[in-house]
Chains A and B, each alone.
Chain A
């Protein structure tokens, strides 16, 4: 060895300390990059319209929070005198919950049918569901709108929700999970005299609890974050979801706008999905990595 052990030890200690510091520094920087835009928005939502419009972007909270949020919640604002955020949030919550529950319900039943029964054309149906993975709404905009018009489903909650409840990913996840349920359970159920419906309610549903919870988080976010679909289907502004409504408030992004109200609305639009993800983090991470693999 060309260097003495004590020197090597010193160097090691210094390097370890430096590495720990660099790691923390990188992570703090990363956290800041993601937190800063939100911070700025929250700050903006506490100032009056002129402060922001002048461009004197402040970095500390102002005193207009109550006024801004009251206006955002009850009246709305922005370029085209938007819809009150209270209404839009309610629409978003209805849509997100219904889409999540609907997707989970029909995926559970179809996965159950495909795994626990034998019937003609079983695999064909499975593949049909699977293929929908490859047909995002973005690539079939016009004919889908046509179908919605024909079925008289535009401008309705049904139109907003029902076409989105088909889910290949959720069906695949439940199928995967059902396949890991030991055959003995089915045999035991048969011996105990339980039919397929009893078995579903008494065994499959309780066993699927964590998977359902995890999927709910992911699908709630999915439903909440929909953009193109509500944009196409809903013209009636009283049914607008908050994500679409927010961008409509901004319009083409002119400087003269009620930015304070817009920022308050943005904060309100962020709160529910972020809260769901943070509060259910454990389930959500597990569910996400398992659905996609």
Chain B
């Protein structure tokens, strides 16, 4: 889509674009290019000189079993977060979309967690599940379940999955609700007259019509789980115990910022960049030719 009528002038539009272009150039493209460049270089032990090593950094990363573990862990983590956050949100959105008293109040009470930062969400969950001061942590221990997410890797993973999904539900809820409201009421009424009970109506009519929304949200949730959960992991487990909660993004941070291993960190960054690009393209391709409507 393009406008047929426009203003004349060359200098003014460039001037208007300048701030955005300068900021993106300086803080997005330049560093991204540097990341690509660094991913082909390796520094000596003192960081004084570096030399071109081709794809060696990539080979090292991709053949490092701990990196592969980390990738697998990220996959489990992201899939769990997405499934949990999408499932709960869809369920709640369907309930809140019904004609019931207080529907608006319910909506407000389910939307506000959008405002909670991932790191804060993590802190809230820490308050609940800390083995000594958390109400549920103590309860589990009292029931004979040895609960300590600082010692048990699986428990740590569970905790960050729940904290991350908890924070994302409201976002998904908002979109599912909007998706539900965009389904024409008469289509649902037609299904009711055709004899479909609520459950059947949901699976044969509502759900198929929501699938574009669901797919869009799936991509958004995966991106969220890959990148935005850094704050959750950093404030809850710091990737531990051991490496039990070290996702790929957390590893880039550890290798680059903590261990100053620039070449490897850059190579990991580039791999993640490719991942984001693929996900974004998939999403736009799909949104472009949105199905039913």
Instruction: Report the nearest A residue to B280, measured CB to CB.
Output: A134
Given A128-B29, A274-B115, A228:B231 Cβ within 8 A: yes
A24 adjacent to B100 (CB under 8 Å):
yes
When C-beta atoms are compared, the residue in chain B nearest to A53 turns out to be B133
Q: How many residues on chain B are close to A (CB under 8 Å)? A: 99
A117/B12 contact (C-beta < 8 A), A31-B106, A244-B119 known: yes
What's the dominant secondary structure at chain A's contact region?
helix
Query: A192 at interface (Cβ–Cβ under 8 A)?
Result: no
CB of B28 within 8 Å of the partner chain: yes
CB distance from B80 to the nearest CB of A (A): 17
**What 0/1 readout, one digit per residue, does chain A (5-18) give for beta carbons within 8 Å of chain B?**
00000000000000
For residue A32, which residue of chain B has the nearest CB?
B109
A114 beta carbon closer than 8 Å to chain B:
yes
- Please report the C-alpha to C-alpha distance between residue A285 and residue B110 in the assembled complex, in whole angstroms: 12
B110 pairs with A30, CB closer than 8 A: yes
Q: Does B203 contact A (CB under 8 A)?
A: no
Please tell me if the beta carbons of A141 and B265 are within 8 angstroms of each other in the complex.
yes
Alpha-carbon distance A180/B238, docked complex (angstroms)? 47
B90 CB to nearest chain A CB (Å): 12
How far apart sit A252 and B234, CA to CA, in the bound complex (Å)?
A: 10
Looking across the interface, which residue of chain B has its beta carbon closest to that of A57?
Answer: B135
A81 to B115, CA, bound (A): 27
Are A141 and B3 in contact (CB-based, < 8 A)?
Answer: no
> Which B92-141 residues have a C-beta within 8 angstroms of A?
92, 95-96, 98, 100, 102, 106, 108-120, 122-128, 130, 132-135, 138
- A20→B100 contact, CB < 8 A: yes
- Across chains A and B, the number of contacting residue pairs, with CB separation under 8 Å, is 298
B272 within 8 A of A: yes
| Complex contact A125–B269 (CB within 8 A) | no
* Chain A proximity of B63: nearest CB distance (Å): 21
Confirm or deny: B277 has a beta carbon within 8 angstroms of a beta carbon on chain A. Answer: yes
> Would A288 and B20 be within 8 Å (CB), given that A135-B273, A142-B257, A250-B123 are in contact?
no
Cα distance A227–B167 in the bound complex, in angstroms: 15
Is B65 among interface residues, defined by CB-CB distance under 8 A? no
Task: Flag if B124 contacts A41 (CB, 8 Å).
Answer: yes
Across the interface, do A139 and B273 meet the contact criterion of CB distance under 8 Å? Answer: yes
Q: Tell me, in angstroms, the Cα distance from A225 to B220 when the chains sit together.
A: 17
CA distance A53 to B133 in the complex (A): 6
B:6-34 near A, CB below 8 Å: 6-7, 9-10, 12-14, 16-17, 19-21, 23-24, 26-34
Query: CA of A129 to CA of B9 in the docked complex: distance in angstroms?
Result: 21
Tell whether A138 pairs with B227 under 8 Å between CB atoms, given A255-B133, A270-B120: yes
Asked if residues B92 and A117 are in contact (CB atoms below 8 Å), the reply is no
In the complex the two chains form, is B10's CB within 8 Å of A119's CB?
yes
Contacts of B29 in A (CB 8 A): 128, 135
> Secondary structure of the B side of the interface?
helix
Residue A133 is within 8 A (CB to CB) of chain B in the complex? yes
Query: Are B31 and A273 neighbours in the complex by a CB distance under 8 Å?
Result: no
- B226-264 contacts to A, CB under 8 A, are 227, 230-231, 234-236, 238, 249, 252-253, 256-257, 262
Q: Is the CB of B175 within 8 A of A116?
A: no
Are A247 and B175 within 8 A (Cβ)?
A: no
CB–CB B174/A289 < 8 A: yes
Which positions 265-284 of chain A face chain B at CB distance < 8 Å? 266, 269-270, 273-274, 276-278, 281
Is B276's CB within 8 Å of the partner chain A?
A: yes
The 8 A CB mask of A199-235 against B (1 = contact, 0 = none) is: 1000000000000000000000100110110011000
Task: Give complex CA distance A52, B178 in Å.
Answer: 42
Q: In whole angstroms, how far apart are the Cα atoms of A247 and B15 in the complex?
A: 41
Q: Considering the chains assembled together, what is the distance between the CA atoms of A85 and B78 in angstroms?
A: 33
Q: Which residues of B contact A146 (CB under 8 A)?
A: 31, 34
Q: Is the CB of B269 within 8 A of A142?
A: yes
- Tell me whether A132 and B109 are in contact in the complex, defined as CB-CB below 8 angstroms, given that A140-B269, A228-B231, A277-B114 are known contacts: no
Q: Which chain A residues numbered 173 to 193 have a C-beta less than 8 Å away from chain B?
A: 179, 183, 186-187
Query: With an 8 A cutoff between CB atoms, is B216 at the interface?
Result: yes
Residue of B nearest to A38 (CB): B124
Contacts of A63 in B (CB 8 A): none
CB of A138 within 8 A of CB of B272, answer: yes
Does the CB pair B128–A40 fall under 8 Å? Answer: yes
A166 touches B28 (CB 8 A): yes
Q: In the complex the two chains form, what is the Cα distance from A179 to B1 in whole Å?
A: 7
A 142-183 binary contact with B (CB < 8 Å = 1; else 0):
111111000100000000001101100001000000010001
Interface of A with B (CB < 8 Å)?
19-20, 23-24, 26-27, 30-31, 33-38, 40-41, 44, 52-53, 55, 57, 59, 105-107, 109-110, 112-120, 122, 125, 128-129, 132-136, 138-147, 151, 162-163, 165-166, 171, 179, 183, 186-187, 195-197, 199, 221, 224-225, 227-228, 231-232, 243-244, 246-247, 250, 252-253, 255, 259, 262-263, 266, 269-270, 273-274, 276-278, 281, 285, 288-289, 292-293
* 5 A–B contacts from the bound complex (CB under 8 Å): A27-B110, A37-B166, A136-B223, A224-B117, A225-B119
Closest 6 CB pairs of A and B: A143-B34, A227-B231, A247-B235, A225-B117, A273-B115, A143-B31
